[in-house]
């Protein structure tokens, strides 16, 4: 099964606003609709923060102001030289309309922290500036939308295989496996659930958890090698991840250099002072800018493929844990939109799932991974930033 994570984009040179507007769908991975997008350019010239919100979520003044301030704060921390507020809508954008009010709120928040800011609307057939009143520069009825489909940066990205999906759902949705494979997975899940219930002795539970974690490592190895993961193994994992200890071990496994620690936790190392201390260090590597590490791209790609395969094969009631882990991976790798999507899926299955609610609160508060904050601190200190286009 192919993970939905998109490949790295090649570096392209953006010469003007038209070029920048043309690459927004590539930056998001899909064609935006009925939403507001903020695109930031750093002082060093690279693409910085890209943030998106549904227009429907910006109708209430309190929420609109809160989100606008969060985005502006992050833009200010990221050595932003210019910010672009882009409204994608087929609705009216005249003054006082919901879409225009949202654009104005973000513009005001960004004007306070960035040197340059532009606001644009991309409609059904045309796009236009909300700032420019010069008819020779910006025609009153805007520019034809087709002009955004014929830019040099856009053509380069298409040639590199980066055509955006038609919608957010198309990009993020995990397709269900066929009925035969789901049946195999379901029967394996039932057997593994019975195995856990059969013997309540502590040593039996420890053995079950250790075997469950071994199943995870095997699935991740298969995914890393590009092979198909057996349906029975995926069914076993769906049940295994319902156990908090196994799930937390998988979470630790994602952090570079912590595979042995994860195995120790799965085998019952919780409560041991050394294991607890090492677990604290692993968590700090994710959230603390002072000691943060970047996710290992190949490692998390394998984990993403394995977890998406579990979601594709499991009964819906058993998908909350893998969906939450996928949300964590997306958040840690800087894909906030994907993280929000996965959390919405997880909380639709179980609104009270604690880890999903904690992650949801972190995203709501715009808490960034440690490596992002470390980068922001570094770029602010030296007055510039790396070119991450």
CA–CA dist 120, 99 (Å, integer): 11
CA–CA dist 48, 40 (Å, integer): 5
151-161 pLDDT, tens digit each: 888 888 888 88
Q: How confident is the model at residue 386 (pLDDT cuts 50, 70, 90)?
A: very low
pLDDT value of position 228: 95
CA–CA dist 344, 335 (Å, integer): 14
Classify 227 as helix, strand or coil.
coil
CA–CA dist 5, 147 (Å, integer): 28
Q: How confident is the model at residue 376 (pLDDT cuts 50, 70, 90)?
A: low
CA–CA dist 227, 113 (Å, integer): 48
Burial pattern 315-325, b for ≥16 Cβ within 10 A else e, equals eeebbbbbbbb
At 152, give phi and psi (nearest 5°). Answer: -65, -45
**From start to end of 20-129, where are the E strands?**
35-42, 47-54, 80-88, 116-122, 126-129
2-61 pLDDT, tens digit each: 223 334 556 778 889 999 999 999 989 999 999 999 999 988 778 888 999 999 999 999
β-strand partners of 128: 121
**What's the rounded mean pLDDT across residues 202-218?**
94
The domain ranges of the chain are 17-172, 179-371
**What's the rounded mean pLDDT across residues 283-291?**
87
238-273 pLDDT, tens digit each: 999 999 999 999 999 999 999 999 999 998 865 567
CATH topology of domain 17-172: Cytidine Deaminase; domain 2 (3.40.140)
Q: DSSP for 243-284, please give it.
A: SHHHHHHHHHHTSTT-HHHHHHIIIIITT-HHHHHHHHHHHH
| C-alpha separations of 180 from 185, 219, 223, 232, 313 in Å | 9, 19, 20, 11, 10
Residues contacting residue 387 through CB under 8 Å, at least 6 positions apart: 11, 42, 44, 45, 46
Q: What is the DSSP letter of 241?
A: T
Say whether pTM exceeds 0.85.
Answer: no
């Amino acid at each position: 099964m192919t993970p939905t994570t998109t490949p790295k984009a090649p570096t392209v040179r953006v010469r003007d606003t038209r070029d920048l507007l043309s690459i927004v769908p590539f930056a998001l991975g899909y064609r935006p609709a009925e939403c507001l997008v903020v695109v930031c350019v750093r002082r060093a010239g690279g693409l910085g923060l890209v943030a998106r919100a549904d227009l429907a979520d910006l109708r209430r003044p309190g929420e609109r102001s809160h989100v606008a301030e969060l985005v502006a704060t992050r833009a200010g921390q990221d050595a932003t030289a210019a910010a672009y507020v882009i409204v994608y809508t087929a609705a009216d954008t005249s003054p006082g309309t919901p879409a225009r009010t949202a654009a104005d709120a973000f513009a005001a928040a960004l004007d306070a922290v960035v040197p340059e800011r532009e606001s644009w609307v991309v409609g059904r057939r045309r796009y236009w500036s909300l700032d420019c009143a010069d008819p020779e520069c910006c025609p009153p009825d805007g520019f034809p939308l087709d002009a955004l489909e014929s830019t040099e940066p856009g053509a380069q990205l298409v040639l590199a295989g980066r055509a955006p999906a038609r919608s957010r759902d198309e990009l993020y949705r995990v397709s269900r496996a066929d009925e035969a494979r789901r049946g195999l997975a379901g029967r394996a899940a039932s057997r593994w659930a019975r195995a856990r219930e059969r013997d309540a002795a502590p040593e039996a539970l420890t053995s079950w958890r250790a075997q469950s974690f071994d199943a995870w490592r095997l699935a991740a190895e298969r995914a890393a090698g590009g092979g198909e993961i057996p349906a029975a193994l995926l069914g076993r994992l769906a049940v295994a991840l319902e156990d908090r200890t196994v799930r937390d071990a998988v979470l630790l496994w994602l952090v570079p250099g912590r595979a042995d620690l994860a195995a120790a936790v799965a085998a019952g190392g919780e409560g041991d002072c050394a294991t607890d201390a090492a677990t604290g260090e692993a968590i700090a590597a994710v959230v603390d800018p002072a000691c943060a590490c970047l996710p290992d791209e190949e490692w998390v790609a394998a984990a993403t493929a394995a977890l998406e395969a579990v979601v594709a094969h499991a009964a819906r009631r058993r998908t909350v844990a893998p969906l939450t882990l996928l949300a964590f991976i997306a958040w840690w790798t800087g894909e906030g939109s994907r993280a929000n999507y996965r959390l919405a899926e997880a909380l639709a299955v179980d609104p009270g799932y604690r880890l999903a609610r904690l992650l949801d609160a972190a995203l709501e508060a715009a808490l960034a991974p440690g490596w992002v904050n470390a980068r922001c601190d570094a770029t602010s200190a030296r007055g510039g930033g790396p070119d991450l286009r």
